[in-house]
Structure 1
Amino acid sequence: MQHANVLKQLYPPVSYNINGEQFIAQCEVDGAAYDRLQQRAEHVLAVIEPVTSDAMLADWERICGIKTDLSRPYQERVKRVIAQLNAVGGLSIPYFMRIAESIGYQIQIKEFSPLQNDLPNPGDIAQFRNAPRESLIFMWRVTVLNGDDNIVYFRAGESFAGEHLVEFGDPIIEEFFKDLKPAHTYCYFAYQ
């Protein structure tokens, strides 16, 4: 919108020479300032939603307590902000399933009960070999049905000693659970 043209029409032609060189120059300077103001107002209006906030997404992340990582794709960052905004509270399995669904994931959660002899597969709990069985009562397996299982294989010349032979996972859903799960629980992930 050209505010300069609007400004020229606001002044009464009897009092001002609306075709004068200085008058037109002043209207163009003031109009350009109003044009910039209009653009900024539209930009600020777009920040109301994380999806359209562009460069201001970092402010959404700051408010939600999320560390800004500019190396991640924009859509991934937006999903993380939306998940954090939807996470108003709750500790139940249906709550976590609804939150995951709101950011586009279909998951299943299995809560194990060692007191009823319901334990994860031996390979899944190998890291807890020396832990008492009672401490495994707070373990969840989150099965991600439609995740982005980024598989990275160990390759000679590209990988280093000590790295796993295969690493996989979906950072969006895994970080979401790490941030929101109850502090006393341990979550591990399976992908289908």
Structure 2
Amino acid sequence: MGYKNTLLALLPPVSYARNADGQRNQATIDGNALDAAADHAAAAENAVTPEYAGELIDNWERVLGIDNSDKPEPYRISAVIAKINATGGLSIPYFLSLAKGAGYDIHITEEDCFRAGTSCAGDNLNDEESQWRWCVDIADGNATAYIFRAGEARAGDRLTVYTDPIIETMFEELKPAWTYCRFEYAEEL
């Protein structure tokens, strides 16, 4: 049952002549518009995943920067899924390989809070939030040192800050949202 019949059924039987040509024509026009909107909504709902995107696979390719418009649909879907899998991960090995591919030698340590039975004397007494922090040690980065200078720095600024915007930006854009990364450079050690 399409929207045309639903719209006609909504008309009060006494006040309106449901079978009049004017009512039927208007219900047909409105029903067709609502049917088309429902079809587009279903297509948009299916496009949430590339497997069922259908003709909206073009949007996935545009967002991911893929140009496969001349290829068959199964190939296009596979290319989109491969690109999605290549753009992010939540594991430390993924970030280690990502940094290695960019030319950095890093080591990532996950902090953990002190726990009886697993921690030892001398371990840091971190709070519960520490499990969401990574310490990223960068051995051979191109860190820039920003040194405290009178007239340029403010009270409370660190005396020396090391930063490498390439690796830090890469991590900030791809890391899990709940994870905080602290960067340490060989120059600091």
TM-score by length of 1: 0.46
Larger radius of gyration: 2
TM-score by length of 2: 0.46
